[in-house]
Amino acid sequence: MKQDFNVAVVGATGMVGQRFLTLLAHHPWFHIKALAASARSAGKRYEDAVGARWAMTTPIPDAVRDLVVLDAVADAEAIAAQVDFIFCAVDMKKDEIRALEERYAKLECPVISNNSAHRGTPDVPMIVPEINAAHAEVIPFQRKRLGTKRGFIAVKSNCSLQSYVPALHPLMADFGVKCALACTYQAISGAGKTFETWPEIVDNVIPYIGGEEEKSEQEPLKIWGSIQAGQIVPASSPAITTQCLRVPVSDGHMAAVFVSFEKKPTREEILERWASFSGEPQRLGLPSAPKQFLHYFEENDRPQTRLDRNLENGMAVSIGRLREDSQYDYKFVCLSHNTLRGAAGGAVLMAELLAAKGYLD
Ligand SMILES: NC(=O)c1ccc[n+]([C@@H]2O[C@H](COP(=O)([O-])OP(=O)(O)OC[C@H]3O[C@@H](n4cnc5c(N)ncnc54)[C@H](OP(=O)(O)O)[C@@H]3O)[C@@H](O)[C@H]2O)c1
């Protein structure tokens, strides 16, 4: 199995792009060869281009500090020619992102994307590696549509659902999740912001995140969908309703979840399913896979964002406060790191999965 890949990070100066750089600095399989962003950053040394926007707690990795940033659009051919695939996280209009990602794919350069533009495209897999690794099997159909041999697009799902979908998934087969309600409490890094760049969020809660509730309700159904005639057909259930709030937290999206089942499990059965759950990343021993994907805390005051978001390098999901509810069967809270598991880390794990399965050869 090939384990040596040259990669580019497109959107390298952004919040998610910075996460990619810190995760890839010492990655055993993936080596950064090129960085790209907008024309505003192109031609500058990375350190100069990112400037005061560097928001990670560790310094800019030495390997990228002096790399000259390329223009993601104008230099696409040159970038595609020197790497095996790209990670992409850019803030552009949806139709521009769709066109940009298809352009790289058609240059025979696979795209591992954090953007939402292609999440609804039926032959583009949206993979949470522990849950729907098999959706990679749609890639040959997408290649046929695009007329490519290697090139394709695979996307990460939205960061908001990254805690409650993994928590509900192990309960579906045996107990049938009928409906779920999730209120999310989302960190400001999810908007590409820090407390310095967004002082209005200090001591405040903003009850609206554009487009987030639609994504949080619809994307799970694609993740739980099935491949039919070369396309992913979304599942028709469970019914999910959400409210997504922005809270004054730097990193980490919390969710308060209520759920009802076709066949109500006992509390012990739920805890057992969470404790024993693992997926392809654990079976394959992928470098970024958490050993234990779902961690349950018995303490009443856990998980806490600041204490628990970095569990297993920010790749695990923390769950707590499971108890019966008077209107739904159960309620619980769960937490995941939005720029690690919910964005760059989840994309790196997806790339590892696709590499292990030969899609990036
Ligand atoms: N933050 C999260 O937790 C999160 C989670 C999941 C998904 N996402 C998605 O990931 C993407 C990036 O989010 P972010 O938070 O990292 O945004 P961000 O911090 O605003 O960064 C945006 C990046 O896009 C680049 N860019 C902007 N306009 C461009 C253009 N015309 N051509 C090429 N590059 C351009 C910027 O380059 P310059 O510096 O040169 O302007 C920068 O590198 C978005 O689609 C977002 O929805 C974010």
Q: Of 215, 204, 197, whose CA–CA distance to 245 is shortest?
A: 204
Q: Is residue 202 part of a domain?
A: yes
Residues 145 and 46 in one domain: yes
Residue 143 shares a structural domain with residue 277: no
| Claim to verify: residue 330 and residue 347 sit in the same structural domain | no
130 and 33 in a common domain: yes
66 plus 169 within the same structural domain = no
CA of 312 to the centre of ligand 1 (A): 25
Question: Nearest C-alpha to atom 19 of ligand 1 is from which residue?
Answer: 14
**Residue 361: inside a domain:** no
Residue 360 region, left (φ>0) first, then alpha (ψ -120 to 50), else beta? alpha
pLDDT in tens, 116-161: 999 999 999 999 999 999 999 999 999 999 999 999 999 999 999 9
Q: Is 201 in the pocket of ligand 1 (CB under 6 A)?
A: no
Q: Per the domain annotation, does 229 fall within a domain?
A: yes
pLDDT at 287 over 90: yes
CATH label of the domain that carries residue 233: 3.30.360.10
Please state the pTM of the whole predicted model. 0.97
Dihedral pair phi/psi, residue 226, rounded to 5°: -130, 155
- Span from the CA of 226 to the centroid of ligand 1 (angstroms): 30
pLDDT tens track for 324-345: 999 999 999 999 999 999 999 9
Judgement on whether residues 81 and 150 belong to the same structural domain of the protein:
yes
Residues catalogued as catalytic: 159, 253
Q: How far apart are alpha carbons 38 and 274 in whole angstroms?
A: 42
* Residue 128 located in a structural domain: yes
DSSP state of 359: T
Residue 213 domain boundaries: 160-337
Cα–Cα distance for residue pair 187/34, rounded to 1 Å: 29
Is the domain of 168 the same as that of 153?
no
- Are residues 238 and 126 both part of a single domain? no
Is residue 16 included in any domain, yes or no? yes
| Residue at 168 is within a domain | yes
Same domain, 175 and 249: yes
> Ligand 1 mean position to 192 CA, how many Å?
7
- Backbone torsions φ then ψ of 139, nearest 5 degrees: -60, -45
